[in-house]
Amino acid sequence: MHRFYLNTILSLSCLLLISCSKSITDDRGDNNTQYSGYLFTYFTGNKVNEEQVYFALSADGFNFEALNNNSPVLNSSLISSSGGVRDPHILRAEDNSFLMVLTDLQVESMGWENTGIVLLKSPDLINWTHTTIDIPKAFPEKFSNVNRVWAPQTIFDEKSGKYMIYFSMRQQQGPDIIYYSYANDDFSRLTSEPKQLYYPPEWAKSKASIDPDIVKFEDQYYLFHKSEDVNSGIKLAISDSLTQGYKLVGENRVDHETNPVEGSAVYKLFDSNEYLLMYDVYTQGNYKFAQSTDLKSFHTLKNNVSMNFKPRHGSVIPVTKSEIDKLIKTWGYSNTGIVSSKSDAVKSLNITVNTEDKSVFLPVKSGTDLSKYDPKLIVSPGANISPNGIQDFTKGSIRYLVSSGQSTEEYLVNVAINNNPVLEGYYADPEIIYSKRDNKFYMYPTSDGFTSWSGTYFEAFSSSDLVNWENEGVILDLKKDVVWADNKAWAPAATEVLIDGEYKYFYYFSAAQKIGVATSSNPTGPFIDLGKPLIDKFPPGASFGQQIDPDIFTDPVSGKHYLYWGNGYMAVAELGEDMMSIKAGSEKLLTPDSTYREATEVFYRDGTYYFIWSENDTRDPEYRLRYATAQSPTGPLFIPKENLILEQDPQKGLFATGHNSVIQQPDTDNWFIIYHRFVRPNGIKMGRAAGYHREVSIESLKFNSDGTIKHVIPSTKGVTPISLLKNEQH
């Protein structure tokens, strides 16, 4: 056994938190010490200098900061036989020591074949002993032809009183199979020949099962793993026994990605009943998180999570204040101040923390009482903050002192109501309607936050005042509800139509760069797809662009229904009486000028038809809105001399303001424009990725006496809540 002591910290791979809900004994003998933060261990890539162990800390389990300036904390050349390690997994042992296991692999020299794992043990997260284990040499009789040993993890077997190590192995060119073995008491070798742990169902047994992660939950064992079957992704199998009997819950992935994923890891938030599932979207260079209380149904987190590093296949465990202090003392920590807020009133995606001038801005939701408000500030792990509790923010910023070790920093915290963005999370391409049946507004956006606009489902939101919106859930899922397309769920439009005395709802959407239509008897669905695309080819006269971005408009003069669409061109066609067909010969191009990019929006006011469109690319900070007018819904278009109506405001940090819809407050001449923009404040820092990290905002839309549109100023304040009682407004 190779022994050495390193100044390092713990490392995680696919995570397992068996002991996160209990108190533990720290080095001071305090039997009531509670966890104060989370340790994230990971590697960063496939190069030699990236196949190392890295560490990060978090106070809340959502916002992580790297230790050691995001440099490795363990030297792979000293602890591995290959010179590289991957997939770090760490476990707090029953005696409060720490166990870590790693894949022993250096991809540049070995490709994707290896035969070993690394076992490490530490009393304090700082000093480690290690052992390398070569499976064919340790077990030559049965496993001499093994050529792949990946992603080991450790769990305590309560029945045997031993630590079980489980991992995937491949023999010759067969499928990767999940095995388990037991470690000796000093965690330096394997004492039992590996046995198969998980048996996939017959239809999947010829495909690989890798990256296992076991969580004990309500006296059962939940085995998360990546299955390479026809529906490749993270799957869940459950058993009453740790070492046998795992049955796949279903064929569906527990992650909601369309891209390949691996390296799933589950950890529990120690101050709640919530679990987080994290996984590596390795082809996109992204790390995603999902949340659950039952470990079966997960919803993807689009906000709340932040990292100042790019991890690969990592894991997370809870740590105490004394452990955090040791880790920071050993490795250093860049952020020792206020990190975020866990107040439910805060729009967490839009928090601004300025580490240079030590200021924090918390945008809070409409209706928040600023005279009696507790910001519930989150500070860096191990730090203390004062004052605490409820404060009066109506008189301006409040001074907070954050103490960490021997240093104390002063922060000024300001809180204000921001009604923009109106939807929390990443959403774009907002369509809005007013329902006469329900006396309510409904919004239909693109579900954003997916790399390269790869979302596959649509959600709906409802509101009675344009400020407070309720998520009505998924109303159309391409994977489940549409047979002709399963990708690129973009830019929907909707309308309410009275047919034979009953209201019916028509939902037009982009999918796979075609346009479809679905129907429902309710504005929140479920919507039933037509079964084929409504538009799947260029209209006459167009030869480039995309068949996307539908807009539905009912002419109040003629009662006819028109569909507009196009990227690179603006097209219009009259709909048939069934609202799901195009009237023959009615297709027409209306492209106004060279500024037209996409996203036509049409509305009618005082005898004039208004046509708004988006200029430039949605990833461009100068994505913006222009307009034209007409005397009919099919043109010709007249372009005013000053037709730019909404653009970026860099001083406010508001960029890429475009792709809109327009709504009128019933029985008034109050109009509103709904649009998307880069998420604030961090979108502008994302580069081109800002184009799929967008948020939805609303402003008042006002007109000059001659009917021209006044320039719209983008804001964080937004609009005040309106009333749908006739002629009444707050």
Instruction: Using DSSP bridges, classify how beta strands 377-379 and 338-341 pair: parallel, antiparallel or unpaired.
Output: antiparallel
Instruction: Using DSSP bridges, classify how beta strands 306-307 and 63-66 pair: parallel, antiparallel or unpaired.
Output: parallel
- How far apart, in Å, do the first and last CA atoms of the chain sit? 74
From the list 51, 104, 465, 598, the catalytic residue is 598
- Please indicate whether residue 598 is annotated as part of the active site: yes
Instruction: Using DSSP bridges, classify how beta strands 571-574 and 561-565 pair: parallel, antiparallel or unpaired.
Output: antiparallel
- Please indicate whether residue 134 is annotated as part of the active site: no
Chain centroid to Cα 221, Å, comes to 27
Residue 182: C-alpha distances to residues 290, 677, 700 (Å): 31, 53, 66
Q: What are phi and psi of 478, to 5 degrees?
A: -55, -40
Residues contacting 2, CB < 8 A, separation 6+:
79, 130, 131, 132
Q: Are 101 and 89 in contact (CB under 8 A)?
A: yes
Q: Which helix (H) or strand (E) holds 630?
A: strand 624-630
Chain centroid to Cα 227, Å, comes to 22
| Interatomic CA distance for residues 542 and 147, integer angstroms | 55
Residues contacting 216, CB < 8 A, separation 6+:
18, 155, 222, 242
151: tokens are 């992603």
Q: Are 668 and 630 in contact (CB under 8 A)?
A: no
From the list 60, 65, 323, 429, the catalytic residue is 429
Helices (H) and strands (E) in the chain, counts: 6, 47
SS3 label, residue 9: coil
Beta bridge partners of 720: none
Question: What torsion do the CA atoms of 579, 584, 586, 588 make, to the nearest 10 degrees?
Answer: 110
Question: Catalytic residues, which ones?
Answer: 429, 598
